[in-house]
Amino acid sequence: MSSEEPLRPLDANEEAFLRALGRVILALPRLVDADMVREAGLPLSEYTALRHLSETPEKMLRMSELACACDLSLSGMTRVVMRLEKQGWVERVKSPEDGRGWNAVLTGAGLARLERAWPAHLASVRRHVMDHLSGQDLTQLTATLERVTADHPVRS
């Protein structure tokens, strides 16, 4: 913002929108996580890690890439992957590229676990988000939200 442009306070509609968006950003992961634990026995953090691994051609990501994709610190991602590893859903292997890094690799059992949990995730997201957007132009809404972070891309 240049020093020539005066600050313009938010109007009532802008303020209401910003507050509602903040509540959604905070509440939605908690709501979906509670549903996932109750209905599928799998926390959202673990489901998300399995999902990201399943979306790669090799079913594998560097731990740092997986942490970024899941919006977790590397140490937080390490704890999630260790829990998944104990279940036999993920394996950690040394990176063949540099030998220092670690890759998380989705196992067949992990893919099967993800597939069993998917209906609970879908039902939760429909209940908490999509059912409230009936009649909205989702293409336009998606484009608008993507513009908010266009200069600061986040891997999904």
Report if residue 73 sits inside a domain.
yes
Q: What is the CATH number of the domain that holds 98?
A: 1.10.10.10
Q: Which residues partner with 94 through β-bridges?
A: 102
Report if residue 33 sits inside a domain.
no
Q: Quick one: pLDDT at residue 155?
A: 56
pLDDT band at residue 3, thresholds of 50, 70 and 90? low
Q: The whole model's pTM is what? A: 0.88
Whole-number Å distance between alpha carbons of 67 and 81: 10
Number of domains making up the chain: 1
- Rounded to 5, what percent of the chain is helix, strand, coil? 60, 10, 30
Report if residue 3 sits inside a domain.
no
Report if residue 65 sits inside a domain.
yes
Higher pLDDT, 63 or 97: 63
Report if residue 135 sits inside a domain.
no
For residue 120, what is the enclosing H or E element? Answer: helix 108-128
Question: pLDDT tens digit string along 13-33?
Answer: 999 999 999 999 999 999 999
Question: pLDDT tens digit string along 68-112?
Answer: 999 999 999 999 999 999 999 999 999 888 878 899 999 999 999
Residue-range definition of the domain harbouring residue 53? 42-127
Report if residue 72 sits inside a domain.
yes
Whole-number Å distance between alpha carbons of 93 and 71: 21
Q: Quick one: pLDDT at residue 144?
A: 93
Question: pLDDT tens digit string along 125-156?
Answer: 999 999 999 999 999 999 999 999 887 766 54
Residue whose structure tokens are 């950003």: 25
